[in-house]
């Protein structure tokens, strides 16, 4: 990570530590302070700042708007964790586990309101900014619903899967970049190109997540390699394998998916062997790189001197090259 990037994250975390969400009743606001304190890469607000800096030099003037995106993101995590019945978030108990579901619903609701609050001092056209934010927010909800729908389906097409991860993950990265550009008063074309850059990088980013689950170096990964395989999660790798398998491979995969008692290590090893046999790793890498390339093409189209784009490119490369 470059020093410049560390400085941007520092700006975000400093302002975040000063934010007050509300006090009374404490049961409503304490879970917000809790989830916001769990850390994370602050990826999205950093994207707001980096996009803004393509056009203007005072990112400290838009920190609240950048944080709107981080508060929104954490609202979605708080509600998604209820729906997914997730016990842990960043190694700590989730809000619905530490308190209860009602508190997680209601604190999440007020977080969404606070996200709008943080947008209000935007120096430029507030209506355009909230219109774009609303489209993004509705998209993220649609993505989560598609993801839940997919759990009950036997198979999902590649196009449907890409559409789901675009909505669930990528549109918020696209919006973050677009917001930075809008706040800087950039023209509409530049805003849209930055949005496209973010959406494509975001899809690539999620495909990388799917890939790392199977092919990460366990020493560096931090989580259990193969967790998605054990949980039968419909990742790009599994969907692609189901789509392209011959009868024997398909029945092997389906046996592992339907097995109720199994040795986890063996399941991971055997499903990975089928993936290897079919070249799923390379297929996923190709698809991922296709999206990363589309992303960089969109960035390339923005008429800003190349030197200015360097921090954004570095950050994207940092995300692309991560091994955890």
28 binds a second copy (CB under 8 A): yes
Residue selected from 109, 192, 277, 290 as contacting a second copy according to rule CB under 8 A: 109
- Binds a second copy (CB under 8 A): choice among 145, 232, 249, 289: 145
> What element of type H or E holds 89?
strand 88-89
Task: Kindly state the DSSP code that residue 121 receives in the 8-state scheme.
Answer: T
Q: Of the two residues 171 and 211, which places its CB atom closer to a second copy in the complex?
A: 171
Alpha-helix residue ranges (DSSP H) falling in the chain: 3-18, 26-37, 43-52, 63-83, 95-98, 101-119, 126-151, 158-165, 171-183, 188-215, 218-221, 227-230, 236-244, 247-258, 264-278, 280-300, 306-321
Binding of a second copy by 88 (CB under 8 A): no
Cβ-proximal residues to 141 (8 Å cutoff; 6+ apart), any chain: none
Rule CB under 8 A: say whether 134 interacts with a second copy.
yes
For a second copy, give the closer residue by CB, 81 or 252. 81
Closest to a second copy by CB, 76 or 235: 76
Contact flag: residue 153 with a second copy (CB under 8 A):
no
CA atoms within 13 A on the CB side of 57: 0
User: Considering only residues 40, 86, 97, 116, which one is a binding residue for a second copy as defined by CB under 8 A?
Assistant: 116
Tell which one of 5, 110, 285, 320 touches a second copy (CB under 8 A): 110
Among 42, 44, 89, 114, binds a second copy (CB under 8 A): 114
- Per CB under 8 A, the list member of 52, 146, 161, 197 interacting with a second copy is 146
Q: Which range, of 58-66, 136-144, 257-265, 300-308, touches a second copy by CB under 8 A?
A: 136-144
Q: Which stretch binds a second copy (CB under 8 A): 41-49, 98-106, 253-261, 304-312?
A: 98-106
Dihedral angle of Cα 186, 188, 191, 193, to the nearest 10 degrees:
-130
Beta carbon of residue 20, minimum distance to a second copy (angstroms, whole number): 12
Number of residues that bind a second copy (CB under 8 A): 36
Biggest CA–CA distance in the chain, Å, is 61
Interface characters, 58-87, with a second copy (x: CB under 8 A): ---------------------x--xx----
- Evaluate whether 232 touches 257 at the Cβ level (below 8 Å): yes
**Interaction of residue 155 with a second copy, rule CB under 8 A:** no
Q: Is 105 in the site for a second copy (CB under 8 A)?
A: yes
| Nearest alpha-carbon partner for 45 in 18, 63, 19 | 63
The neighbouring-strand residues paired with 88 are 93
- Which run of H or E residues covers position 92? strand 92-93
Exposed (0-12), middle (13-18) or buried (19+): which is 227, by Cβ within 10 Å? middle
Residue 35 CB, nearest approach to a second copy (Å): 16
Whether 168 contacts 147, CB under 8 Å: yes
Residues forming the site for a second copy (CB under 8 A): 22, 24-25, 27-28, 79, 82-83, 101-103, 105-106, 108-110, 112-114, 116-117, 120, 126-127, 130-131, 134, 137-138, 141-142, 144-146, 148-149
């Amino acid at each position: 990570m470059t020093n410049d990037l560390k400085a941007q994250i520092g700006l975000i975390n400093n302002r975040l530590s000063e934010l007050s969400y509300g006090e009374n009743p404490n049961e409503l606001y304490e879970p917000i302070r809790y989830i916001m304190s769990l850390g994370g890469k602050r990826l999205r607000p950093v994207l707001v700042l980096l996009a803004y800096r393509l056009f203007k030099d005072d990112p400290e003037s838009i920190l609240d708007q950048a944080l709107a995106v981080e508060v929104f993101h954490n609202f979605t995590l708080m509600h998604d964790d209820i729906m997914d019945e997730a016990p842990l978030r960043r190694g700590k108990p989730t809000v619905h586990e530490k308190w209860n579901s009602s508190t997680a619903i209601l604190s999440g609701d007020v977080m969404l309101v606070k996200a709008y609050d943080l947008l209000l001092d935007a120096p430029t056209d507030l209506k355009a900014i909230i219109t774009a934010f609303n489209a993004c927010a509705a998209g993220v909800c649609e993505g989560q619903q598609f993801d839940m729908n997919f759990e009950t389906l036997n198979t999902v097409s590649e196009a449907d899967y890409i559409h789901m991860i675009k909505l669930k993950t990528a549109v918020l990265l696209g919006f973050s970049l677009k917001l930075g550009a809008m706040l800087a008063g950039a023209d509409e074309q530049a805003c849209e190109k930055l949005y496209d850059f973010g959406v494509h990088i975001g899809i690539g980013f999620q495909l990388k997540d799917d890939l790392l689950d199977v092919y990460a170096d366990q020493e560096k990964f931090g989580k259990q390699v193969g967790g998605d395989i054990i949980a039968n999660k419909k990742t790009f790798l599994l969907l692609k394998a189901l789509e392209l398998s011959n009868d024997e491979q398909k029945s092997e995969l389906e046996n592992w998916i339907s097995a109720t008692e199994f040795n986890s290590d063996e399941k991971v090893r055997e499903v990975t062997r089928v993936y290897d046999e079919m070249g799923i790793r390379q297929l996923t890498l190709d698809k991922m790189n296709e999206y990363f390339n589309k992303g960089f093409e969109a960035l390339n189209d923005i008429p800003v001197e190349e030197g200015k784009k360097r921090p954004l490119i570095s950050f994207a490369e940092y995300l692309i090259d991560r091994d955890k």
